[in-house]
Copies of this chain bind each other. A is one copy, B any other.
Amino acid sequence: MTQGSDISLSEEIQKQLTKKRFELIRGMFNSMSPFDIASALESSSPNNRRILWELVDFNVEGEVLNELSIEVREFFLSSMDATEVAQVTEKLEADEIVEIIQELPEKVIRDVLKAMSSQNRKLVSKDLSFAKGTAGRMMNPDVVVVRPSHTIEVIRRYLRIRDELPQDMDKVFVVNRNNILRGNLPLTKILSAKSSEKAEDLMIRKFHSLLATNSEKEVDRLFERNHLISAPVTNDDGELLGRITIDDVIDSIKEEVDQPFRQISGLSRDTFQETFLALRSRGLWLGANLITALLASSVINLFQDTIEKVIFLAVLMPIIASMGGVAATQTLAITVRGLALGQIVSGNLRWILSRELIVSFWNGLFWSIILGLIASFWFKDFDIFLIIIFSMTINLIAAALSGISIPLVLRKLKFDPAIGGGVIVTTVTDIVGFFTFLGVASIVYA
C-alpha cells in the first residue's frame, strides 16, 4: 500500500544525479510510477535528461513518454527510430499511442504504423483519421459493447470471458446491429440487476455523448460540466467509434488553465528548455520590447527643451509611466484570464469595462494626489501638483481601456489574446504617460 507522501522525489533524484549514483537512480525508477519518472525528467536540465532517460526501464518507456509534456517528449522521440517507437508504445492504449506519435513527421508516422502489431495499427489508424485536437484523436476505439436484446446474464458471462477489461471502465455501451449507440449500462447496474433482465430495459438512454469532430475544448467542457468518468464518441450518424476517459481530459484541462499565464509572459511549457532555444525566444520578446520602448522614448525626445528647463520632470516621469504599466497589466491579466475561462462575453464586457474604468479613475486620482503632494514638497514647486494629477489619472484611464481592448483586438485579428499583450499595453501607458505629463508641463512651464 503506497501512501501519498510529500517527499520530493525530484529533489532526491537531482541529489543522486550530482553524486553520479546512476545505478541507485535506476533502482529508484523501478519503484516509481511513470508519472513520477516523467516529472523527474521534466525537472532536469537537457543533459541530465539524456542521462536519466538511459536509466528508465525499457518496459516503462512508453508509459513515461505518455506522461511527458510535448516539448520534452519530442526531445526523446527525436533520438528514436520508427521501430523503437512502435516497440516502446506497444502496450499503450491506442489514444495514448496517437498522442505520442502525432507530433512526428508524416513519413515517420507511416513507418511507425508499419512497425506496429496489426491490432494496434488498426486502432491507431482509426484515431489518426480524425483531425488533431478533436475527440476522434483523443478517443480509445477499444470499447465493450452489448446488444439491446442481451440479458444481464449473457452480459455478465461475456464480461467474465473477456481477458482484460479496458482500464477505468465504468460502463458498457449498448449498440444495435449497425453499431448505432442506443444507451449505456453502468457496471453498478449490471451488478445489481436481475439476471433475466434485458439491456434495452435497463440501459440509460439519456446520457452525454461526443462527436468525433468535437474540439478538445468541447470535450473538456462536457466532462467538467457533468462530472463524467467516461463518455462515448460517435460519428454524425450516431455510430459508436470509441470512448474518452477522464484521465485523458485532466491534462488538457490543466493545459487550458496554464496557457494564459505562459503566453502573457512569453514562456515555453518547458521550464528546463535548452539554453539556445530560450535565448532565441526571449531575445525576440526583448527585441519587440526595444522597438516599443524606442517609441516611448521618441515621445520624451519631443520635450527635451522642457526637461532641460525643469530638470526634475525627468525624475518624476518614470513614476507616471510605471503606475500606468502596473494598472494596465492587471486589467490585461483579468481580461486574458476571463476570455480563456470563457467568462467574459460580449454581454458582460460593458460591466467589466465600466468597473475597470471606475477602479482606474479613483485609484489614479487618489495616488496622484499622494504623489503630487510628495513631489510638490520634494521639488518645492506647486505647479507640478496639478500636472501629476492630470497626467496620472489620464494614464490610468488609458491603462484600463488598453488592458481590455488590446486582447480583444488581438483575438479579433485571430492572434492569441495573451501573446504580446503585455508589451503592447505597457507601450500605450508609457506613451500616454510621457506625452500627457511632459506635454502639460511644456505648457505650464513655457
**B3 and A330 contacting across the interface, CB-CB below 8 Å:** no
Does A405 reach chain B (CB closer than 8 Å)? no
**A247 and B271 contacting across the interface, CB-CB below 8 Å:** no
Given the known interface contacts A2-B208, A271-B343, the answer about A225 and B36 at a Cβ–Cβ threshold of 8 Å is yes
Q: Which of A105-113, A118-126, A294-302 lines the interface with chain B?
A: A294-302
Q: How far is the CB of A172 from chain B (nearest CB, A)?
A: 10
Q: Can you identify 27 A-B contacts, CB atoms within 8 angstroms? A: A4-B210, A6-B215, A14-B348, A15-B347, A35-B227, A43-B342, A160-B192, A170-B229, A227-B247, A250-B250, A253-B253, A262-B337, A265-B334, A267-B330, A267-B333, A271-B337, A271-B341, A271-B344, A275-B358, A286-B363, A294-B374, A297-B315, A297-B319, A304-B315, A307-B307, A307-B311, A318-B430
Does A53 reach chain B (CB closer than 8 Å)? no
Does A21 reach chain B (CB closer than 8 Å)? no
Q: How far is the CB of A187 from chain B (nearest CB, A)?
A: 4
**A338 and B271 contacting across the interface, CB-CB below 8 Å:** yes
Does A25 reach chain B (CB closer than 8 Å)? no
Interface of A with B (CB < 8 Å)?
Answer: 1-6, 8, 10-11, 13-15, 17-18, 33, 35-36, 39, 42-45, 48, 135, 156, 159-160, 162, 165, 168-170, 187-188, 190-193, 205-211, 214-215, 217-219, 221-222, 224-227, 229, 231, 246-247, 250, 253-254, 257-258, 260-262, 264-267, 271-272, 275, 278-279, 282-283, 285-287, 289-290, 293-294, 296-298, 300-301, 304, 307-308, 311-312, 314-319, 321-323, 326-327, 329-330, 333-334, 337-338, 341-348, 351-352, 355, 358-359, 362-363, 366-367, 370-371, 374, 422-423, 426, 430, 434
Select which of B17, B208, B217, B319 is within 8 A of A347 by beta carbon: B17
On chain B, the residues within 8 Å of A219 by CB distance are 4
Q: With A and B bound together, what is the CA distance between A321 and B325 in angstroms? A: 13
Q: With A and B bound together, what is the CA distance between A168 and B100 in angstroms? A: 29
Q: With A and B bound together, what is the CA distance between A338 and B217 in angstroms? A: 25
Q: With A and B bound together, what is the CA distance between A253 and B252 in angstroms? A: 12
Q: With A and B bound together, what is the CA distance between A264 and B262 in angstroms? A: 12
When C-beta atoms are compared, the residue in chain B nearest to A396 turns out to be B286
SS class, residues of chain A in contact with chain B: helix
**B275 and A296 contacting across the interface, CB-CB below 8 Å:** no
Q: How far is the CB of A242 from chain B (nearest CB, A)?
A: 14
When C-beta atoms are compared, the residue in chain B nearest to A362 turns out to be B279
Select which of B8, B168, B297, B342 is within 8 A of A8 by beta carbon: B342
Q: How far is the CB of A8 from chain B (nearest CB, A)?
A: 6
Q: With A and B bound together, what is the CA distance between A264 and B336 in angstroms? A: 14
Q: How far is the CB of A289 from chain B (nearest CB, A)?
A: 5
Given the known interface contacts A330-B265, A374-B294, the answer about A345 and B8 at a Cβ–Cβ threshold of 8 Å is yes
Cβ-closest 5 pairs across A and B: A14-B347, A4-B222, A261-B261, A265-B333, A314-B314
**A6 and B190 contacting across the interface, CB-CB below 8 Å:** no
On chain B, the residues within 8 Å of A45 by CB distance are 348, 351, 355
Q: How far is the CB of A389 from chain B (nearest CB, A)?
A: 14
**A343 and B42 contacting across the interface, CB-CB below 8 Å:** yes
On chain B, the residues within 8 Å of A43 by CB distance are 342-345, 348
On chain B, the residues within 8 Å of A44 by CB distance are 348
Q: Given contact pairs A278-B359, A307-B307, enumerate 11 new A-B contacts (beta carbons under 8 Å).
A: A1-B208, A11-B345, A33-B226, A156-B191, A257-B258, A267-B330, A271-B338, A279-B359, A283-B367, A286-B323, A301-B315
